[in-house]
Structure 1
């Protein structure tokens, strides 16, 4: 009969416990369950074989990270090999908490492992009584070790998890929406404020950003002269508009304004201009983040709609878990529950309404396109979430599918099947990867050749240049032979 041992991973180190044999195997599990809370009874079942503490905090973190991924760390492998070298491995069975770790231990050491049956109850009891089962160990030292390792483990998971960067997308799209509201509110305020002095400017310059820049530049309309027309033309980006502003400033019906009021208007206009410029920079940052985190979703529906979907779902992983029917109505939850309550028609789209595909579709086909687009968005989000090497090839293929579906509703042209499109996309991705590796090696060779040529040309005057003809003749004699033949032909013709 095989002897059962249990491996327990603590924050302080690894330990192996031996389990006492029982004659009746059917009574084994109930006995353990009843004795878990009682130390004296649990001591009669489990006894410590050996304990191997971690040498440093870094070693503890590396070992726990490896165990959490189902990989056997080197320290644990050496420790178990030492323990079971004294015992007969064939007659021993090791209880572990994780099936992947058990498979790795069996492959490396040759000890059969199990994670079912009585093992979970034994591990629960060892976890409960561990400080009292190891000599020189207390509840306080165990708590300190667990707290330190828990903090470092959490920090490393947050640091190295690639899916955490979608938090930056969520924050940036929220800030972008807030900036849009604020810039619009402030622009309306400065239009109303400055229109007391120069009301004609509102009709000439309709854009908020350009109006704020023009108001800041003009200031007092009486100070606008022909010398400032060139600069005003650069701001407004139109010669006719600049001339119209100049003409309107001469014959304006606005009231005169004091210097203090004008200074406050200029300061406020400067703030609005800075906010608008910052909004442009933030949109570029969001585009770069979406390109890194969710390139396929970005290629399919754009930066802002894709970022809003991720923000509304909570993360890219959550969005990937949603079915297409949920993605379709994200952002329209109130309308959905109101429709269910009143037994009326449910909404056809939520955040996807802002996509250009919905606007281009006819009234009859908006619901169909919304359902089809939600399907493609769920596929794109899953690819972005779980693919190792991010690429936008799949997103572009999915976008083309939506375009073909729009054409099908308009003209009846039958689009390609999804299987064929995905096969083509996979082929293009594979070809890009192979070309990338080959191009990388060829570029390295070219760089080496260029370095050699530069060293030969820019070398010291005393140093003699190497005879490249000898190298060429040794490596490949064909070009030299061709040159000699050409020379002989020229001499013969002469």
Structure 2
């Protein structure tokens, strides 16, 4: 049977398409109708059509056929039997290779302009530098302590690397730090090694500052409200932990509260340990400087405000200012005053 338009009736029809053409096939694999792209075939135009297909969109040829055959079922080409879809010829293969290269270049360019990807690199780079600095700094402090036995290491710890790096001798470094060197002294070769190590610590400190400065600039632009509330460095860390600004905006506040505490959370699920009350947001002074028995309450309140700010950032709402942040701080003080002592169990 046929309809008035000439389309087969009562058969299972399929519509398939790629960047070259679109076809309507009947249940036996016979071509019912076909529409071939007649545009100019260049690598740029092919790349545009492939990108459209990758996004799940129809080509113009497929759309016209779907309007002509509304009952035809969209079917991926890979579900067709061998021989039901035309293979690429040599020219088409060369053309699609050039188009694939253009798509890859556009993808790299898009990634370079993605603030979320850039923030991730900055945060990870800062973490790696801090891990290296911790090891290097501990080594130079312990090493210098052997030759400066009377030095108050706890009080002067932050000055030791820079004092050693800028001094020409152990005696000069001791004078800068307000102490006296050990009577045993130090050999020239060991002093040079200690100086080089100290210079490395100072250099890593400088790199950390530069990375953090770049993080602040990018986060203030990308997450203005969240940065105003909790600071740009912590805002960048939360966004990275959530895998981007948009995903952070879509997370419930309870998840935002424990971002960074995934290990403890899964231990809770597996072993029954208490649920973690906070993750990265513990770094904020409102949480870490509060009594331990109110940290959970403050974390819960703060995570709700962070969720609001992240949605303002993601959907380009009116950024928060000092007045909104002051209201949240007043809420923190209210929680502290309402719970001056831990609750009796």
TM-score bucket (shorter structure): 0.7 to 0.9
The structural deviation recorded for 1:287 is 0.9
Residue 475 of structure 1: aligned partner: none
Which has the larger Rg? 1
Residue 312 of structure 1: aligned partner: 241
**1:298-317 C-alpha deviation (Å, 9 max, x unpaired):** 22222332222222223333
Query: 1:411/1:272 Cα in 2 relative to 1: closer, same or farther (>3 Å)?
Result: closer
Query: 1:308/1:297 Cα in 2 relative to 1: closer, same or farther (>3 Å)?
Result: same
Higher share in helix: 1
CA distance in 2, matches of 1:378, 1:360: 22
CA distance in 1, matches of 2:49, 2:279: 46
Residue 357 of structure 1: aligned partner: 286
2:251 aligned with 1:322: yes
| 1:37-186 pair list within 5 angstroms | 41-48=28-35, 50-62=36-48, 94-95=64-65, 113=67, 117-121=71-75, 132=86, 138-160=88-110, 164-186=114-136
**1:43-92 C-alpha deviation (Å, 9 max, x unpaired):** 342244x531434323444566678889999xx7xxx8xxxxxxxxxxxx
Q: Is the 8 A contact 2:165 2:195 kept in 1?
A: yes
Q: How many corresponding residue pairs?
A: 328
- The structure showing larger relative contact order (alpha-carbon pairs under 8 Å, at least 6 residues apart) is 2
**1:327-349 C-alpha deviation (Å, 9 max, x unpaired):** 11112222223223344531111
2:7 aligned with 1:21: yes
**1:172-212 C-alpha deviation (Å, 9 max, x unpaired):** 2122122222222212211222233333344486233x211
TM (norm. structure 1) is 0.56
Q: Is the 8 A contact 1:32 1:122 kept in 2?
A: no
2:166 aligned with 1:217: yes
TM (norm. structure 2) is 0.77
CA distance in 2, matches of 1:138, 1:40: 24
Residue 187 of structure 1: aligned partner: 137
**Structure 2: runs of 5+ lacking an equivalent:** 16-22, 339-345
**Structure 1: runs of 5+ lacking an equivalent:** 4-19, 81-92, 97-112, 225-231, 413-494
Q: Is the 8 A contact 1:37 1:125 kept in 2?
A: no
Residue 471 of structure 1: aligned partner: none
Q: Is the 8 A contact 1:298 1:395 kept in 2?
A: no
CA distance in 1, matches of 2:154, 2:293: 40
CA distance in 2, matches of 1:183, 1:122: 54
Q: Is the 8 A contact 2:129 2:208 kept in 1?
A: yes
Residue 19 of structure 2: aligned partner: none
Query: 1:117/1:21 Cα in 2 relative to 1: closer, same or farther (>3 Å)?
Result: closer
Residue 10 of structure 1: aligned partner: none
